[in-house]
């Protein structure tokens, strides 16, 4: 029997537009003047030394975002200590507004082709809050959500990828894994998955690559 292929997606950056891309929305939601938020991560690495430190492995991704949480809260004269505080205030009442249209289009094609679907995230609940998933109806299409917030096992640890293959009951070679962090992509490749480095500056091209690996180009 032929094993159906599976698309395994990271969440933040791959499914949602990054906070770097939505500074205008964040500034309006927080009542900050336009242009207040200047950190741009992968859209301007040279202008974001903290991003460079994260990419070099000197700090973790969680460290990066906690620094942004603290400094943004301070701009409002408030003390923020968790990422969900930031998300709740910055993204408002409509989380679907920041879902990538490229994801929505790819999801429709993958479902129509009968491919399996899973999410492998390091910080889904930690970053967005435990109630966030209930506000995203498209998650019902995913057979499996593996979240390091609860497991404590983070990509690129091989055990994180094994939780997906074990949970779906498929070999790693049947999986196309998509992530926007290079070290996690390398981890997926080392685990035996076809791995795509998602370029947040070119989401359409990245999804096209993933669909091609699924045989849907």
Last residue of a domain, one of 52, 72, 95: 95
**Counted domains in the chain:** 2
Please tell me whether residues 114 and 207 are part of one structural domain.
Answer: yes
Please tell me whether residues 33 and 103 are part of one structural domain.
Answer: no
Full residue range of the structural domain in which residue 147 is found: 6-16+99-213
- pLDDT attached to residue 159: 98
Angle (CA) 165 166 167, round 5°: 90
Where residue 127 falls among pLDDT bands split at 50, 70, 90? confident
Please tell me whether residues 78 and 136 are part of one structural domain.
Answer: no
Tens of pLDDT along 12-38?
999 999 999 999 999 999 999 999 999
Domain assignment present for 1: no
Structure-derived torsion over alpha carbons of residues 71, 76, 81, 83, reported in degrees to the nearest 10: -80
Are 54 and 64 in contact by the 8 Å Cβ rule? The answer is yes
Global pTM? Answer: 0.91
CATH number at residue 165: 3.40.50.1000
- pLDDT attached to residue 87: 87
State yes or no: pLDDT of 1 exceeds 70: no
- pLDDT attached to residue 58: 96
Give me Rg for the CA atoms of the chain. 17
Angle (CA) 38 129 101, round 5°: 60
Q: How far apart are the first and last CA of the chain?
A: 23
Last residue of a domain, one of 70, 95, 120: 95
Please tell me whether residues 105 and 144 are part of one structural domain.
Answer: yes
Please tell me whether residues 65 and 128 are part of one structural domain.
Answer: no
Please tell me whether residues 89 and 103 are part of one structural domain.
Answer: no
Please tell me whether residues 200 and 142 are part of one structural domain.
Answer: yes
CA–CA separation, 192 and 177 (whole Å) = 10
Give me the count of residues in the chain.
Answer: 217
Are 89 and 30 in contact by the 8 Å Cβ rule? The answer is yes
Residue 157's CB is within 10 A of a number of other CB atoms, namely 17
Tens of pLDDT along 36-49?
999 999 999 999 99
Please tell me whether residues 157 and 50 are part of one structural domain.
Answer: no
- pLDDT attached to residue 181: 92
What the block records as the tokens of 176 is 């196309």
Percent of the residues in the chain that have a pLDDT greater than 90, as a whole number:
84
Are 184 and 163 in contact by the 8 Å Cβ rule? The answer is no
Tens of pLDDT along 49-108?
999 999 999 999 889 999 999 999 999 999 999 988 898 888 877 888 899 999 999 999
Where residue 2 falls among pLDDT bands split at 50, 70, 90? low
77's CB contacts (< 8 A; 6+ apart) are none
Last residue of a domain, one of 45, 72, 95: 95
Tens of pLDDT along 148-181?
999 999 999 999 999 999 999 999 999 999 999 9
Domain assignment present for 120: yes
Please tell me whether residues 104 and 169 are part of one structural domain.
Answer: yes
């Amino acid at each position: 029997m032929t094993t159906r292929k599976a698309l395994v997606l990271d969440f933040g950056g791959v499914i949602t537009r990054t906070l770097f891309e939505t500074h205008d929305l964040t500034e309006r939601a927080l009542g900050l003047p336009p242009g207040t938020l200047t950190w741009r991560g992968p859209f301007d690495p040279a202008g974001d030394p903290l991003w460079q430190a994260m990419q070099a492995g000197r700090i973790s991704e969680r460290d990066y975002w906690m620094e942004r949480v603290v400094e943004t809260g301070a701009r409002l004269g408030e003390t923020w200590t968790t990422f969900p505080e930031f998300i709740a205030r910055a993204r408002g009442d409509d989380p679907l507004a920041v879902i990538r249209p490229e994801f929505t289009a790819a999801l429709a094609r993958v479902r129509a082709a009968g491919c399996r679907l899973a999410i492998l995230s390091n910080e889904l609940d930690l970053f967005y809050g435990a109630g966030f998933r209930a506000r995203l109806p498209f998650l019902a299409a995913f057979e499996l959500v593996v979240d390091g917030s609860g497991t404590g096992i983070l990509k690129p640890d091989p055990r994180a990828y094994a939780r997906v293959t074990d949970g779906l009951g498929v070999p790693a070679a049947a999986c196309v894994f998509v992530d926007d962090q290079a070290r996690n992509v390398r981890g997926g490749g080392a685990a035996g998955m076809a791995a795509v480095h998602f370029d947040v500056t070119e989401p359409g091209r990245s999804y096209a690559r993933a669909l091609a690996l699924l045989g849907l180009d």
